[in-house]
Structure formats: C-alpha cells, structure tokens
Structure 1
Amino acid sequence: MKRQKRDRQDRAHTKGYQAGIAGRSKEHCPYQSNAIKSQWLGGWRAAIEDKQQGLFK
C-alpha cells in the first residue's frame, strides 16, 4: 500500500503545534513563505491555548 504524502501546509500546522507544546517561541518558525508560516503559527497558537486550558503539562 502506498503512503500518500501529506500536504505541506498540514505538515506545517502539525509542526507548529508540536513546537507550541514543547514551549518554543513563535520566533522559531522555520518557514519563510507567508502561507506556510501562517499555518505553522496557527498550530502554535492552538497549542498555546491547549496548554493554558490545562490539556498539557
């Protein structure tokens, strides 16, 4: 069975979420493209909100 490659923007959102959970700053975003950087920051913001709500320690 072939594995499908995930969309770059979806992957950026996931990586941003992981960075937010890890406690990294949003200045550590590795992307330069505005569209992909926006997705990364969206994931980062979602992780910060989840941490503030107590979903992660």
Structure 2
Amino acid sequence: MKRQKRDRLERARTRGYQAGVSGRSREHCPHSDIDAKGYWLGGWRDAMEDKGSGLFIR
C-alpha cells in the first residue's frame, strides 16, 4: 500500500514539474487531495526554480 501511495504522489510531482516547465500557472493544479496537491505544487516550484536558473532556454 505504501508503494502505491508513493507512486501516486511521485507521479503528481512529475506532472507538476512538467506543467511548470511548459509555463502553466499553479492555479491549474488538478488535485483536490491535499497530499497530491502538495506534491504537484512542489514539482511546479522546482520547475520554476530550474527555469529561473536558466536550465530551460527556448
């Protein structure tokens, strides 16, 4: 059970990161569950930091 939960949360983090890299707003978070939303926003913040440091150049 713990692995399933961790996989779900890691998937939320990955999708949040992808959303951040593509320039989507954090208001577009699709999760209502507080844990999944936290992971999604964490991924989104990581993407914003990476973009700010110049990791993604278009």
Q: Same fold by TM (over 0.5)?
A: yes
Structure with bigger helix share is 2
What secondary structure is seen at the aligned counterpart in 2 of 1:7? Answer: helix
Which portions of structure 1, spanning 4 or more consecutive aligned residues, are displaced by more than 4 angstroms?
Answer: none
**Structure 1: tracts of 5 or more residues without a match:** none
TM-align CA RMSD: 1.3
**Structure 2: tracts of 5 or more residues without a match:** none
Alignment of 1:17-36 (within 5 A): 17-36=17-36
Alignment of 1:1-57 (within 5 A): 7-57=7-57
The Cα shift of 1:22 comes to 0.1
Q: Deviations over 1:11-54 (max 9, x none)?
A: 00000000000000000000000000000000000000000000
